[in-house]
A and B are shown apart, each in its own frame.
Chain A
């Protein structure tokens, strides 16, 4: 994920929330956050300092885990939301919330006539429009937004290139058309379609699509008399400039009672997926796809029903790790630490895992607590874990692990789908009619989990680092 000001602002807000939590002043000072970030007299990013502060306040609300559309009015201070969050025992089912007042900045109609319009006599824009949406005023063309259906014919036909296309970034990024405008111009997410890939979060230039963070719920867990266990996804290995043992040790020092590598669960995924593959091939099944990317499995469930029989039944590394952790800690709180929204949703659905922290949230907590990962006390790594399991988060890593486990017992013709977009979804749809491979690895993010929607490190740097860990494992 490319770093930009919207991303950095989110991290800044997370860090401020965590700092106030660790100093015990969250309720007391949370309402100051928007004012501290936009004090009187500073340059503002929108029309005025008050609008900026209001936007920041809504973003804090999302980070406290609230749906912004549930707000009654602005008179409820953030401290009240902190109080409610401290008492809550259940997470919101819908993982995303849209900051409406920011969101409405985007156009409703994608085509705009610029003042380059000459108001020509031919007026091909007008004659090509089937919806009668073009009208002329003061010698220039205009588009009636109530009639326009975004077909683009006017743009194609304008001899002066005077009509431009303005995208709505989130809609454009969504591979399954799950985000669209309501009457008032703000975006709404259709969870019957959403595959939790997180592209809308990453693509919105205003940072208006936000995950409802579990950070408050993790703070509540730290304050409870239960143990709090972190289950850390293997993509963490590439997130900081430090050896894996130091990263895990640093996570522990945030207040966790134990830290378990999700690579431990990946060992089981590898073993069972290899067994399942051999069995299915012997039964004569055409091909099998991996199942560890929850965004991909959501895409199959919601958009590619003909692929359902071909997806592996094997659980994901997170699900196996949560089973193992639950056996060890039957009554305690299990927090998955991972790279993306899809994993947040998977955590929500899992019967064993309780909460989820993103890498970004973990990073912000480090900053708040003044932890420098490189100089943290290292945790001893679990030597029983197979090194290939730590390679899962990079595209083709799952294939490599499962293929090594099969060890030639049946022939493997691999195919790696590196990132899901509209074209790849279409390609996948055709696989039951004919697929050149018999084993297909699918990861929704290009490059793998190291390119999840809330990672810290540059994905290429992270891949290299993960590769080193596997090699030295």
Chain B
């Protein structure tokens, strides 16, 4: 099987306070088939919060793509899009 899609959730304090804490339960919203194809990890800071134009926290990195104002549903959709699954 090809390399797994990396999903990196920022667990920095800014992201965590601004709603990112909820993303810790992301896996519960994904089917086992999708979970098999991805690798979820946390990052102490994706370094997006201090960059102009990066959007608002919380941030999640899916592959090379940065998702801003990440919510469970937004991240689930982005993962499905990357994996090309329904």
Contacts and interface: CB of A to CB of B under 8 A. Distances in A.
Interface residues of B, number: 15
B13 interface: yes
Contact of B24 (A8, A364, A372, A457): A457
Given A3-B22, A241-B11, A458-B24, A375 B44 contact: yes
Contacts of B21: 3, 239, 456-458, 461
A320 interface: no
Interface residues of A, number: 26
Interface in A84-115: none
Interface in B1-23: 11-14, 16-19, 21-22
A367 B19 contact: no
A366 B46 CA distance: 17
Contacts, number: 61
A148 B76 CA distance: 45
A419 B1 CA distance: 46
Given A460-B25, A461-B25, A240 B16 contact: yes
B13 A458 contact: no
B12 A3 contact: no
B47 to A, nearest CB: 11
A17 to B, nearest CB: 14
A367 B13 contact: yes
B45 interface: yes
B42 A458 contact: no
Contacts of B19: 3, 7-8
A367 B17 contact: yes
A225 B16 CA distance: 33
A374 B18 contact: no
A337 to B, nearest CB: 14
B17 A364 contact: yes
A68 B42 CA distance: 41
A367 B18 contact: yes
B59 to A, nearest CB: 13
Contacts of A2: 22
Nearest to A375: B44
Contact of A366 (B13, B25, B44): B13
A175 interface: no
Interface string A348-372: 0000000000001001101100011
A375 B14 CA distance: 13
A294 to B, nearest CB: 25
Contact of A374 (B17, B22, B25, B44): B44
B27 to A, nearest CB: 11
Contacts of A360: 17
A442 B49 CA distance: 41
Nearest to B17: A363
A457 B16 CA distance: 8
A8 B44 contact: no
Contact of B22 (A12, A363, A373, A458): A458
Contacts of A460: 25
A227 interface: no
Contacts of A371: 13
Given A460-B25, A461-B24, A372 B13 contact: yes
B29 to A, nearest CB: 12
B23 to A, nearest CB: 9
Q: Which 7 A-B pairs have the closest CB atoms?
A: A241-B11, A363-B17, A461-B24, A457-B21, A3-B19, A374-B44, A366-B13
Given A239-B21, A367-B18, A372-B44, 20 more contacts: A2-B22, A3-B22, A8-B18, A11-B17, A11-B18, A12-B18, A240-B13, A241-B16, A250-B13, A360-B17, A363-B16, A363-B17, A364-B17, A366-B14, A371-B13, A456-B16, A456-B17, A457-B21, A458-B25, A461-B25
6 contacts: A15-B17, A363-B17, A366-B17, A374-B13, A374-B44, A457-B16
Interface of A: 2-3, 7-8, 11-12, 15, 239-241, 250, 360, 363-364, 366-367, 371-375, 456-458, 460-461
